[in-house]
Structure 1
Amino acid sequence: MSYKGFGYIVDSCPLSKANTTEAASKLNCINDVFGRSQYVCVPNENLTAVVEFCYTKSIVGLYQAGYCLKTIKDGYLDQISCKNFTEGCPTAPYRSTELYKYPACSRLNTEFRCFAADSLCVS
Structure 2
Amino acid sequence: MRGWGGRQQPGASTRVRGAAAEDMALAHLLRAGLRLIERNYRTPGRGGGEIDLVMRAPDGTLVFVEVRARASAAHGGAAASVGAVKQRRIVLAAHHYLLRFGAPPRCRFDVVAIEGTHIDWLPAAFDAG
Give the TM-score normalised by the residue count of structure 2.
0.25
More helix per residue: 1 or 2?
Answer: 2
Whose radius of gyration is greater, 1 or 2?
2
Give the TM-score normalised by the residue count of structure 1.
0.26
